Structure 1
Amino acid sequence: MRKKGILLLIALAGLFSSCNDAIDITQPGEISNPYEVFRNADDIKRGISGIYISLPGESEIGFTSIFTDEVAIGRDNGGQGLISGEYGFFMQPGTSFANSTWASYYSVINRVNRLINITDKLYSEATLAAERTKLINNKAELLGLRAYANLKLFAYYTPDYTNPSGLSIMKVDFVPEEGRLDEHIGRSTVAQITKFIVDDIDEALTIRPDGWVNENNNYITDQVLNAFKVKLYAMTENYTELIPLAQSVLSNYRFATGPEYVAMFSFNPAEPSSEIIWKLSRPLGSGGNVAENWYSSSVDVDGSFFYEMGRSLYNELDKLDPAVTGEAFGATRVDVRYSVNLQATSEVDVDYASLPQFEYVDKDLLLIGKFEGKQGAFPAALKNDIPIIRYADIALLLAEARAAQGQIAMTSTDPMVILDNYSTVGNIIANLRLNRSIPALSFSMPVLTDATSAWKAILDERRVEFAFEGHRYLDMKRIGMKAGSPGFQRYAKDAIVNGTGAGLPANSYKLTLPIPNSELNANPIIRGQQNPGYNN
């Protein structure tokens, strides 16, 4: 019989089970049977909406910004990132992010599996065609959510994406049996998990071939599912399948122009940019507050900022406009990513390199402005919708495939000739910078001479394009070595705090999360399958 008791998942099954008191008395009005809660397709849809809210976009952004080279310790820091060790690149099986990410996504998988079981039962009993259609649509969305959760777990906890026989994550496609707390499963292989993800996506697309509704980019659609595959193929270096699929996804969207890019992160505009393929909706009263990763009350100099932008990241944004590199804040910038990422009340000291440490901390204030918050006081001021997949992400993943195939240099130096031509790395980056610039034709380009310079250009572009969006950690893991990157590199004066050190190399084992203590303590099979570099 298949081993299928997973203590963690059983513990997280509370969405569908009642809470018993110390003497196991059922409280009046308490509902313990999930089939009484989820009685039809509309009930299932409400359960799906709850899963979207539970996806941990904010925590991933926070961890990535702190553990990499995106932030520096801010003036109002009270030990954040220092006591817990993330800012010092501390990573062990007890690290909170490793534990919470594992728990969050396996909780999603558990909830999805339970809802799929209920959906299948309701479908078998339904007599109305309209109800059966809604149930099928729900199941397709649930399969997509399970694929996404497994994709994230695969990305964070798999040491080597390209080794089919290497260890990956646990394959959980069932509901743990009640009362079977003594059974466990181990980690599946890379090949098994990638097949599991692709099979879920393909089944979702097959059972719901049409009728996907793009409701303000807030829900999984057929294009989102295809984008999941593109991201998986980039990790596993399956460039043959990546290229046509990426091109198909891109044909349904476009780059945001400079003004649209600014609006995309400005107080949550009502209409999302055509660039956003999928985002997590965060209405008031639900989900987390993304800017709370860096601020206490508001996104500005008076918002009690315990982190600010790291100098090494600022310098990369500063270099986007060579004509004004090194000039004071307020100089006219062509590339809008500078002003989007740097908050308007920042104070940039052009002589930062010559300042003593205490003056550098006090005078060079590089405030994070990527998410401006919703209109209103705290907590609205710190809350934003979270872009998960954007057009630029898929375009730059296509650039990785071009780099792997040696298609590197621009095919023309005339931007209008290569407009919408994504046949080389240079063309893709030029199209991206064209759309991030005001005026549009005024932009600089990296020098591309060989494969290493192409990979470096892609990694550098992703650093400035997706700053504070939760990409940097996994980007370095995936292509850092190909790009010849030294890894995460903080400016020396940002690294002096508590002796945190200047960087983490691109080949560090810490670019794969450890299997957390919560699972090691509960599951003896996993206990012998910890990722390399970590002590159980």
Structure 2
Amino acid sequence: MKNIRAIVAASIVLFSATGCKNDFLDRAPISQMNGNNFYKTADDMKNALTAAYSGLQYGGLYYSSMHIIGDLRSDNTEITDPAAGTDMVAVDNFQNLPTTSISSTTWAGHYQAIQSTNIVIEKIQAVTMDANLKARYTGEAKFLRALMYFNLVRIFGDVPLVIKVINNPQEGYTYGRNPSAEVYNQIIADLTEAEAALPHEFTGADIGRATKGAAAALLGKVYLTQKRWDLAATQLKKVIDNVALNKYQLLPSYASVFGIANENSRESIFEVQFKKGSTGEGSPFTNQFAPIGSGTAVVAVGNPLGQNIPTANMNSAYEANDARKAVSMRNSYVLNGNTVQHNYVVKYSGTPAAYLDSDNNWIVLRYADVLLMYAEALNEQGYVADGPAFTYLNQIRNRAGLPSKTSNNVDVALRVADQAAFRLAVEQERRVELAFEGHRWFDLVRTGRALTVMASKGMQLHHVLFPIPQTQIDINPSLIKQNEGYNN
């Protein structure tokens, strides 16, 4: 099989013809071009599945939306130059409206990608092919669909639950917003089936596909988000206990997790694949995260866009001697012989082949995340002084060159004396360990800390959800209603 990244571009062209357009659930999505006659062979389904993976690269997903929502919305990053874009500023300052593009782009991109997964899941049933391969392809598509819906339900709350192919415009008008509980039930069902069907690992050209461990880890995060601590702990411990099969590990050096040469490492559980110089398959992060005005000092090719600038608060969140800081961000650059003081992200550094065309992948899940989630789930079931939760928390700290935290440490900064203190210790560790990877906003919302942390920025209670795109409401006002707080 060709490398998954190398055939995505061709698949995008193929499936744009089948109706997977950006107007999905906007102008009544269509899937046509005689689709029933197209999906006949295992190769047809392989191409269909690759098209589903390509959805992860859409602007409304991991190309830009997920880091805008996951970091820019939080206290991790900010817009320091209005030239980065008025919509970016609006998200940063909690001023985004139903007409702001972030909502419409995120909504449309996810539903376009969901349509692609539904094509695989539905059409493959009638294809004569190897039963194990059919189950695997279906499992991969269900993992992707679950990931899409997990994003949507956390961003918008109640959303339309579409688990069949939309074949004509009128079908799109029949979908209203399903309660979040129903969406979560579908996510759990999809991930449970995916975990059962997927292999522990892929090799060679198949590296980058969803694995059993990816499904298990994502399901653990889903349960954690639902505050189902026992189920989350069981699921996450399964990933930890199966490292011999999954081959996951916490790499010895934090620096070895990131950079183009380190992609798809043993710490990575699932990442979105990008490849520069390959007909639209490159990633934009190197350009997006470089400060406006930095010329070629930070990124050698293409314009610096200043879209995800680390805040002063983020800068000060790192403890002294934390090895993760230098890998994640810088405080200055040298331009024309002059030192310019300006924070910027370096996790996605590289030399683009062209503007917005780099090799950097986007890591969605990695083993360090699993360890921290497991520590959190253990603590929520009951604080144990210097118990197993401390062990997993300190694995992450020690890898960064920091001393362990204990229940009765003489250093008050390292003392975690009760359950509430452990919650904050996990929050802090997740912030610096997973910095600029799109987790911070979702962590703050999940733990109920968003309003406390972000109130000074202008956040109000209704901002835990983003507004439903106004286009959706205008097209289908009887079934699509706006989230509370965005009607005026």
- How does the TM-score come out when normalised to structure 1? 0.73
Contact 2:288 2:305 in 1 (8 A): no
| Amino acid of the structure 2 residue aligned with 1:533 | G
Q: Quick check: 1:289 aligned with 2:284?
A: yes
Matched, 1:337 2:305: no
* 2:121 is the alignment partner of 1:153: no
Checking the alignment, whether the CA contact within 8 Å between 1:372 and 1:381 is kept in structure 2 is: no
Measured in 1, the distance between the counterparts of 2:200 and 2:419 equals 42
Matched residue SS, 1:487: helix
Contact kept, 8 Å, 2:352 with 2:358, in 1: the verdict is no
Tell me the CA shift for residue 135 of structure 1: 2.5
| Structure-2 separation of matches of 1:460 and 1:477 | 15
Specify whether residues 247 and 263 from structure 1 end up closer, same or farther in structure 2 by C-alpha distance, changes over 3 A only: same
Contact 1:343 1:368 in 2 (8 A): yes
Normalising by structure 2, we get a TM-score of 0.80
Query: How do residues 126-141 of structure 1 correspond to structure 2 at under 5 angstroms?
Result: 126=128, 131-141=130-140
Deviation at 1:74, TM superposition (A): 4.5
| 1:141 to partner: Cα distance | 1.2
2:110 to 95, 105, 119: 105
**Equivalent residue runs for 1:19-38 within 5 Å:** 32-38=33-39
Deviation at 1:35, TM superposition (A): 4.2
| Of 132-141 and 426-435, the range deviating more from structure 2 | 132-141
Question: How far apart, CA to CA, are the structure 2 residues paired with 1:344 and 1:84?
Answer: 21
Contact in 2 for aligned 1:80/1:306 (Cα 8 Å): no
Which amino acid is 1:404 matched to?
Answer: E
Q: Deviations over 1:364-400 (max 9, x none)?
A: 3222212112x45434774410000011111111122
AA aligned to 2:454 is: F
RMSD between superposed Cα atoms in Å: 3.2
What's 2:12 paired with? Answer: none
Any idea what the Cα deviations from partners look like across 1:490-526, whole Å, max 9, x if unmatched? Answer: xxxxxxxxxxxx5245x63212112211221222244
Q: Does 1:262 align with 2:251?
A: no
Superposition pairs of residues 126-205 of structure 1, within 5 angstroms: 126=128, 131-158=130-157, 168-178=158-168, 180=170, 183-205=173-195
CA contact (8 A) 1:41 1:138 kept: no
Q: Is the CA contact 1:10–1:176 (under 8 Å) kept in the aligned structure 2?
A: no
Counterpart AA for 1:399: A
- Mark the runs of 5 or more structure 2 residues left unpaired by the alignment: 1-22, 406-410
User: Does the 8 Å contact 2:310/2:344 carry over to 1?
Assistant: yes
The alpha-carbon deviation at position 136 of structure 1 amounts to: 2.7
Q: Distance in 2 between matches of 1:237 and 1:300?
A: 41
Counterpart Cα distance in 1 of 2:169 and 2:325: 56
Q: Which residue of 2 aligns with 1:352?
A: none
Select 1:429's aligned residue among 379, 390, 393.
Answer: 393
Matches of 1:99 and 1:82 in 2, distance apart? 12
Contact 2:462 2:485 in 1 (8 A): yes
CA distance in structure 1 between the aligned counterparts of 2:207 and 2:422, rounded to whole angstroms: 31
Q: How does 1:359-374 map to 2 (within 5 A)?
A: 364-373=341-350
Using a 3 Å threshold, how does the CA distance of structure 1 residues 240 and 186 change in structure 2: closer, same or farther? same
Mapped to 2, the partners of 1:210 and 1:67 lie a distance apart of 36
In the alignment, which residue of structure 2 is the partner of 1:510? 463
Once residues 102 and 333 of structure 2 are traced to their aligned partners in structure 1, the CA distance between those partners, rounded to angstroms, is: 29
**Do 2:72 and 2:92's aligned partners in 1 also have CA atoms closer than 8 Å?**
yes
- Identity rate of aligned residues, in percent? 22
1:221-240 paired onto structure 2 within 5 Å? 221-240=211-230
Aligned residue identity for 1:101:
T
Q: 2:77 aligns with which of 39, 62, 71?
A: 71
After superposing the two structures, state which structure 1 stretch, 170-179 or 462-471, moved more.
Answer: 170-179
Separation in 2, partners of 1:298, 1:191:
48
Q: 1:9 aligns with which of 5, 18, 25?
A: 25
User: What letter matches 2:202 in structure 1?
Assistant: V
Compared CA separation, residues 205 and 405, structure 1 to 2 (3 A): closer
Q: Per-residue CA shift, 1:25-53, capped at 9, x if unaligned?
A: xxxxxxx2224543311222122222222
Q: Is the 8 A contact 1:218 1:281 kept in 2?
A: yes
- Check if 1:250 corresponds to 2:240: yes
Distance change >3 Å, CA 68–CA 137, structure 1 → 2: same
Change (3 A) 1:381 1:247: same
- Cα 1:457–1:211 shift into 2, 3 Å: closer
Partner-residue secondary structure (3-state), 2:51:
helix
Equivalent position of 1:410 in the other structure:
386
- What residue identity is the alignment partner of 1:70? N
What's the CA shift string for 1:119-169, capped at 9, x where partnerless? 1121xxx2xxx63432332112111111111111122122xxxxxxxxx22
Distance 1:33 1:289, change over 3 A: same
Distance 2:209 2:198 in 1: 16
